[in-house]
Amino acid sequence: MFAKGTVAMSERRGAKIAGVGKALPEKRLTNFDLEKIVNTNDEWITQRVGIKERRIAAEDEYSSTFSIKAAQDALKAANLPASEIDLILVATSTPDTIFPNTACIVQRAIGATKAGVLDIYCACSGFIYGSSIAWSMIASGAMNHVLVIGVEINSRILNWKDRGSCILFGDGAGAAVFSPCAAGDGLLTFKIGGDGNYGDLLKLVNSGCVKHPEYDGTYITMQGNEVFKQAVRTMNECALQVLEDAGLAPSDVSLLIPHQANIRIIDAVAKRLELPPEKVFVNIEKYGNTTAGTIPIALCEALEENRIKKGDIILMDAFGAGLTWGALLMRWA
**Catalytic amino acids?**
124, 259, 289
Task: Give the number of residues in contact with ligand UT7, rule: CB under 6 A.
Answer: 20
Identify which of residues 224 and 250 has a Cβ nearer to ligand UT7 in the complex: 224
Any idea what DSSP says for residue 14?
E
Phi and psi based region of residue 57 (left: phi greater than 0; alpha: psi -120 to 50; beta: remaining): beta
Nearest Cα residue to 186 out of 12, 4, 5, 17: 17
Nearest-10 Cα torsion for 201, 204, 209, 213: 80
- Pattern 276-295, binding to ligand UT7, x per CB under 6 A? -------------x-x----
Q: How far is CA 249 from CA 13, 187, 273, 318, 330, in A?
A: 24, 16, 9, 19, 13
Tell me the C-alpha distance between 81 and 33, whole Å: 42
Q: Does 262 bind ligand UT7 (CB under 6 A)?
A: yes
- Pattern 217-256, binding to ligand UT7, x per CB under 6 A? -----x-xx-xx--x-------------------------
Q: Does 44 bind ligand UT7 (CB under 6 A)?
A: yes
Tell me the C-alpha distance between 82 and 21, whole Å: 14
Identify which of residues 43 and 278 has a Cβ nearer to ligand UT7 in the complex: 43
* Those residues with Cβ within 8 angstroms of residue 189's Cβ, 6 or more apart along the chain or in another chain: 5, 6, 242, 245, 246, 328, 329
How far apart are CB 234 and ligand UT7 at their closest, in Å?
A: 11
How far apart are CB 231 and ligand UT7 at their closest, in Å?
A: 6
Task: Report the SS3 class of residue 9.
Answer: coil
How far apart are CB 293 and ligand UT7 at their closest, in Å?
A: 11
- Pattern 111-130, binding to ligand UT7, x per CB under 6 A? -------------x------
Tell me the C-alpha distance between 126 and 234, whole Å: 15
How far apart are CB 76 and ligand UT7 at their closest, in Å?
A: 30
Residues of this chain that bind ligand UT7 (CB under 6 A) = 40, 44, 48-49, 124, 163-164, 167, 202, 222, 224-225, 227-228, 231, 261-262, 289, 291, 320
